[in-house]
């Protein structure tokens, strides 16, 4: 059986804001994503993308890197961002220490996905925060998250 190509993550984004509501979850650390990478996940917790992010974290999680000036803080937005969740996503972004980057994971986080025309769905995370890398897919595979992180850090794609 031939190998299936993973969709290539792409760079992008601009955005503007909402008032913050609540803060991000505790950071998770991903081995193989580069030295000193601190991955802080805000997961909308909906269906496919939330499952794939959890699978990626279980598969690629490693010990926390030693604190240092080289740490990059990455916010992963996965799942459908609704208008009610948007202030929480913005709050998570604002609470990340610099340097911070944003990875939009999956069709719903990228553009609203199959729910784009719903009255309560934000048409992509980039409507509220700046997005540095988009990982396409519905849902993307766990390996695509690592590929997006590598792209984010300038190490190439998947």
**pLDDT one-digit tens code per residue, 14-27:** 333 333 333 334 44
120 occurs within a structural domain: yes
pLDDT tens figures, 102-149: 999 999 999 999 998 999 999 999 999 999 999 999 989 888 888 888
Q: What is the DSSP letter of 145?
A: H
157 occurs within a structural domain: no
* pTM of the model as a whole: 0.72
How many domains are there within the chain?
1
- Residue 155: what pLDDT? 64
Task: Tell me how far apart the alpha carbons of residues 85 and 44 are, in angstroms, rounded to a whole number.
Answer: 8
54 occurs within a structural domain: yes
104 occurs within a structural domain: yes
71 occurs within a structural domain: yes
Cβ atoms of residues 11 and 133 within 8 Å: yes
Task: Tell me how far apart the alpha carbons of residues 121 and 86 are, in angstroms, rounded to a whole number.
Answer: 9
Mean of all residue pLDDT scores within the chain: 73
How many percent of the chain have pLDDT more than 90? 26
119 occurs within a structural domain: yes
For residue 102, give the CATH number of its domain.
Answer: 3.40.50.12280
* Interaxial angle between packed helices 142-152 and 47-60, expressed in degrees from 0 to 180 and rounded to the nearest 10: 70
In the sheet that holds 28-29, the strands lie side by side as 10-11, 133-135, 100-105, 72-78, 37-43, 28-29
158 occurs within a structural domain: no
pLDDT tens figures, 33-48: 555 555 555 555 566 7
Q: What is the DSSP letter of 125?
A: G
Residues of the domain holding 81: 11-152
Q: Residue 41 to residues 10, 27, 85, 101, 152: CA-CA distances in angstroms? A: 19, 6, 14, 11, 15
1 occurs within a structural domain: no
């Amino acid at each position: 059986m031939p190998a299936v190509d993973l969709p290539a993550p792409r760079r992008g984004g601009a955005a503007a804001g909402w008032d913050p509501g609540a803060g991000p979850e505790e950071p998770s650390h991903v081995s193989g994503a580069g030295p000193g990478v601190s991955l802080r996940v805000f997961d909308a917790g909906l269906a496919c993308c939330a499952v794939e992010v959890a699978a990626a974290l279980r598969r690629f999680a490693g010990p926390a890197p030693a604190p240092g000036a080289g740490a990059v803080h990455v916010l992963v937005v996965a799942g459908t961002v609704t208008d009610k969740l948007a202030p929480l996503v913005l709050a998570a972004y604002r609470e990340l220490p610099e340097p911070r980057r944003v990875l939009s994971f999956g069709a719903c986080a990228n553009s609203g996905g199959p729910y784009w025309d719903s009255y309560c769905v934000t048409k992509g995370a980039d409507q509220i925060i700046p997005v540095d890398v988009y990982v396409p897919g519905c849902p993307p595979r766990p390996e695509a998250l690592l590929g997006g992180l590598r792209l984010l850090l300038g190490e190439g794609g998947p």
